[in-house]
A and B are shown apart, each in its own frame.
Chain A
């Protein structure tokens, strides 16, 4: 059984754990305020809050319920638009109405829930963070200026938010129903008494569910729930997202180790990671939307094996290793050796990624991530690329260059990296490197661009890396070469 609190009600269901939370909310529970827009996390109409008990408090994050496997709701507080309604409009709802941010109304509950998630966050809310919280909400009617105005009005109100206990602060101001206060206690009881679904089955059948075969291991679900929605709707899954041993970011023997189930948001917010690899936060801005970052995991982006996975591209340039756990043994593999071919990994069915690790020294290394997509935010790259350099004077002492969208796998550019090592930073080096890089790349024409475009873009991104890192040496006019 999957047990969780839906708004103010504890619910238990025997529905397949791979079915979507959205369907459960709408069609089993009749809560139709949460809308179905695209079922691939690209519109935000189905946004809910997912609250996770952390210590004595509940941390709420926005989530696209279409991509959340029901099993991942276990032990959480799931909040829909109905669950935040009080007798009057909240400031968020009022601002949306006042600013003309509501037209057909179909995206409205999702936008409201994104802003509610922002209001409950343990950080200061600014105009920018309020707007960013709605970055994954598509509105086809308003043109967004009114949503911007609403976000601005709300951020003014939230300016005084007590960030040590935002939920209580909101309740005191009648912005959330009072039942939120008792949620931590109620979740603690569920966690103590209701085992996660796959564990329950373990006890019942006397063996681990993975041994039954066919069961997919799912972490965030943001990819598999799109690719295999119909099959998952009738099957159980093995949930990885809440496994404590796959969580956490730490430094160990000079390396940074990221647990496989760490979400992109958690990675972006991690003090350890930001300290170790300060460029992380600027990279994350260009990856997915806040809703999806809250669910998608680091290892999920790798095993998805997409040739344009942003995390893979970043980690390749960080020269990362993956730690793979199998039935019998654990092995460590350079990430670049994991990708064998299109959607093909050096990973057997019994194995899964336990963690990724890399070494980085902000004092001596330079890093750049570039991504160009049709739409800058919440889009899949046409081409993305990352580079890590260590310099010895004016000479490149070490280079790791990666690029996505230009081959069947996320490419680690071996030859180009080797070529650049030992070269000075100059326009000439880049021109020559580009020739090698074009040999290493083999882009194809598809919905994300023609081959010619991707090749041109690949060259431009190489230039962009160096212009950003060496503004004095690489001048803008190199692009016209």
Chain B
């Protein structure tokens, strides 16, 4: 958060999508979603809806001038339902009216006939029926079938983890209006301006240069606005183009929850084999990803599940398969961690179950199998600068893990209603888009005549602080005051062909592109200074708003330098392009070097469980994290604290509920609960592991957006251990989230 941005937020002056002052004649759109989860549309009666005062027009698939296709990776998703519906809430029509109120009234009067078919919501059933979104994929290493024979213990089981609603506080929205030359401008709450532009162009049958997408900032996103902002933006674009009037769509919370996808639920079968010294010799797993009704980002998420299916462990023989299953739920999508948390949950469940059968703390197995330098990841990349062991040792040194274990054991002996539990959660997370071709970015830098600087990149600010990081990079490069810098909105006419702001790569990719642009400008400015001062370029440096010659200040200020350079007709605008070097991946072999680097860390999570009522609180989260050369401690602290609690929420109280007909039961904030201030861990402490940081990270400061989320998984296993302490006869089912209901039922389960 740069200072100005924080001030604007704190005073309520920042403009989010729904805050943009509307143009005269603006219309408002409300989407009509399918009331059934699966079936053929037999009839659509719009007459009563059209009769509502203020309704201008109702759009359906037949109004689309281009293709009715909004699929990003695969063309399997429509903007408006065609002849069939595949999930409840699937957009069928858009009502556009003088007011949102009138449009909402009209939506309620749309009549649809659907010949219903039985929906499939269980991914295992979908797999059985052959409903897959894409062909299944398997990562292998070593010789798994031979390895089982070398194991002293083999443990099998099943693990399931649930969906998670993003609950960005700002719902999806878009505001579109016609501009000159048959073009349109779309303000969209998207993490992917280029995707919105590309899909809008496809649907509207316009060249991309006629579609401008602008994003000022997002009120939270967490992956939920990577692909799923698109349909809202494209509907606004379509209706504004065809009506030649401005159209705004802001989803109500209920529509947003019912229409958009969540974090993918996964169901998995695992098998883990260990030797007597707790070394994991073999691990196999089959994971059923519940993809929902369309591919959306599921193929990429499935891939990241595979990449992280062995978490921070070296397992010489492994075989992990993911089936991406098509079900009659809203298309599930990106969410912080992007499939990695689910893969990690499964292996941690396997380790927990093995620990239970061996009657040792899971920690003994975890620490015996940490990755080491030069170990091979399952996908062929050689592990370098591995810090997982160091994080663990530092954690133990700082917080004394055994002492915590002993204190908990003592507490559990002396108290009969309350039980405590502890778990260790190591994390290894790869940084880069796993799709190598997406790892690039551009930055456009203008230095204005007065010395102020405007910067545009492809990065979207959504609270993660990328604008502050970019401002810091540029201010550092030019050695000027940050007050001179303005980070512009993210706009497709200024920076084109961008990748989404996602995968924790926003700062690395866009920041490195920005550095390249700044450095080119600096070279030109030094040349100008050299001419002006009558010396050679090598003698010039820029330091604290001044030109230095041979290390000594001259009387040439930054402003004077810029003025002179301008008069010399030197270009004060520059573009930087960055593409991550070294990375590649060969899908035909499922081997390569997909990640620029990995982020490591280890957490201890402790919980206090009220065994009478089945309710609990998170007592402590203690972390040692590898930030690299931590450049923005304030921002990184925020990402750490926020990510951890979001992960804990996923594992505990957050539960997306559907009935068998595919109707969402948790479609409001009164039925879907996310952590509040009282659920935050009582103590959350973290230490930075002192490392130099990888060269491919922006100024050697490692990416931070996603990795902390996975520490939250520790809350599940800490609760699990607390329950076991109270009810030793409980047979855990490794089913997340561990809601108060599951906890109480487990406490009194007499199996």
Contact = CB atoms under 8 A, between A and B. Distances in A.
Interface of A: 26, 30, 32-40, 42-43, 45, 80-82, 85, 89, 93-94, 96-97, 100, 102-109, 112, 131, 134-135, 137-148, 230, 233-234, 370, 372-380, 382, 446-450, 452-453, 456-457, 460-461, 463-464, 467, 475-477, 479-480
Contact of B745 (A45, A135, A456): A456
B642 interface: yes
Interface string B1-19: 1010111111111111011
B420 interface: no
Given A106-B170, A233-B101, A479-B612, A100 B1 contact: yes
A450 B740 CA distance: 12
Contacts of B638: 100, 103, 141-143, 146
Interface string B391-428: 00000000000000000000000001100000000000
Given A140-B222, A145-B641, A374 B740 contact: yes
A80 B665 contact: no
Given A145-B684, A372-B740, A374-B739, A102 B12 contact: no
B462 interface: yes
Interface in B236-287: 250, 252-253
A102 B653 contact: no
A456 B748 contact: yes
A135 B678 contact: yes
Contact of A105 (B463, B615, B637, B675): B463
A107 B219 CA distance: 8
Contacts of A477: 416
B217 A36 contact: no
Contact of A97 (B7, B171, B463, B615): B7
Given A145-B641, A447-B657, A108 B10 contact: yes
A40 B252 CA distance: 11
B9 A32 contact: no
Nearest to A151: B677
A34 B669 contact: no
Nearest to B669: A42
Given A39-B252, A374-B653, A379-B670, 13 more contacts: A37-B669, A38-B668, A40-B670, A105-B8, A108-B12, A112-B10, A138-B169, A140-B674, A145-B680, A145-B684, A379-B673, A475-B416, A476-B416
Chain A interface SS verdict (over half):
loop
Interface in B684-725: 684
A102 B170 contact: no
14 contacts: A35-B170, A89-B10, A100-B635, A104-B169, A140-B166, A143-B675, A145-B641, A145-B681, A145-B684, A147-B677, A373-B673, A374-B653, A377-B678, A447-B657
A448 B221 CA distance: 27
Contacts of A148: 677, 680
B485 interface: no
B740 A100 contact: no
B614 interface: yes
Contacts of A42: 668-670
A145 B465 CA distance: 17
Nearest to B747: A479
Contacts of B463: 103-106, 141
B744 A457 contact: yes
Given A40-B668, A100-B1, A145-B680, A453 B10 contact: no
Interface stretch (B34-42, B379-387, B643-651): B643-651
B130 interface: no
Interface in B72-126: 101, 104-105
B671 interface: yes
A104 B739 CA distance: 28
Chain B interface SS verdict (over half):
loop
Given A34-B12, A140-B674, A104 B615 contact: no
B634 interface: yes
Contacts of B684: 143, 145
Contact of A35 (B8, B16, B105): B16
A140 B643 CA distance: 9
Contacts of A378: 676
A457 B614 contact: yes
Contact of A464 (B21, B612, B665, B677): B612
A140 to B, nearest CB: 5
Interface string B647-671: 0000001010100000001101111
Interface in B529-575: none
Contacts of B18: 26, 32, 36
Given A104-B463, A476-B417, A140 B168 contact: yes
B24 to A, nearest CB: 14
Contacts of B668: 38, 40, 42
Contacts of B670: 40, 42, 379-380
Contacts of B218: 104
Contact of B744 (A100, A142, A373, A453): A453
Contacts of A140: 166-169, 220, 222, 642, 646, 674
A374 B669 CA distance: 12
Contacts of B220: 104, 106, 140-141
A107 B169 contact: yes
A26 to B, nearest CB: 8
What 4 pairs across the A-B complex have the smallest Cβ distances?
A: A33-B12, A104-B463, A105-B9, A106-B219
A138 B678 contact: no
A354 to B, nearest CB: 29
Most buried by B among A26, A81, A97: A97
B68 interface: no
Nearest to B15: A32
B464 A447 contact: no
B614 A93 contact: no
Given A36-B18, A105-B8, A460-B614, A134 B168 contact: no
